[in-house]
Structure formats: structure tokens, C-alpha cells
């Protein structure tokens, strides 16, 4: 899964509950404990703002980190 600007914009257009659910699913698929994210109604707006300010370079870096988690999980 590659997250490009178009995908990021779709994520940002979701309501808070939808965004939280999708982020937890992405984390779970990457082998990250979704509970460790600590997403809740009080901080989802901060997460949304952070995602909304991601540059193209940061987006590429996030994709690399995500792919690394996916590859590590496949080896287990």
C-alpha cells in the first residue's frame, strides 16, 4: 500500500471516527498494535493536522517505514 497525496486527501476528508478506524487498520496490517497508537476523540484532530501538513518527502519516508514494517511482518 502506497499512500500518495490523493489517498492522504481522501483520509483527511473522513470524519474522525472513520479516520481513526482506518489508521488503526493500517497499523494492524503493518504489525503495529492499534492500541499503542492511543487514538481517541481528544487527539484525532492533532493527528489530522499532522497528516495535513505532511510534505511529499515526508510522505515518501512514511511509505518506506510502512513498507519496512510490512516486510518484517512477512518474515515472521
Overall number of domains in the chain? 1
pLDDT surpassing 80 at residue 65? yes
Which residue range is the domain that position 63 belongs to? Answer: 5-75
Contact 30, 76 (CB under 8 A): no
What tens digit of pLDDT does each residue of 17-55 get? Answer: 999 999 898 888 777 887 888 888 889 999 999 999 999
Angle between helices 5-12 and 56-75 (to 10 degrees): 90
pLDDT surpassing 80 at residue 60? yes
Radius of gyration of the chain (CA): 12
Question: What's the confidence (pLDDT) of residue 1?
Answer: 64
Full-model pTM: 0.75
Residue pointed to by grid coordinates 503493518: 30
Amino acid at each position: 500500500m502506497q499512500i500518495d497525496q490523493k489517498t492522504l486527501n481522501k483520509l483527511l476528508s473522513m470524519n474522525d471516527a472513520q479516520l481513526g478506524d482506518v489508521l488503526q487498520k493500517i497499523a494492524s496490517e503493518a504489525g503495529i498494535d492499534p492500541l499503542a497508537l492511543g487514538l481517541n476523540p481528544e487527539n484525532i484532530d492533532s493527528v489530522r493536522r499532522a497528516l495535513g501538513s505532511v510534505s511529499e518527502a515526508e510522505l515518501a519516508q512514511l511509505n518506506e517505514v510502512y513498507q519496512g514494517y510490512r516486510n518484517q511482518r512477512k518474515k515472521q
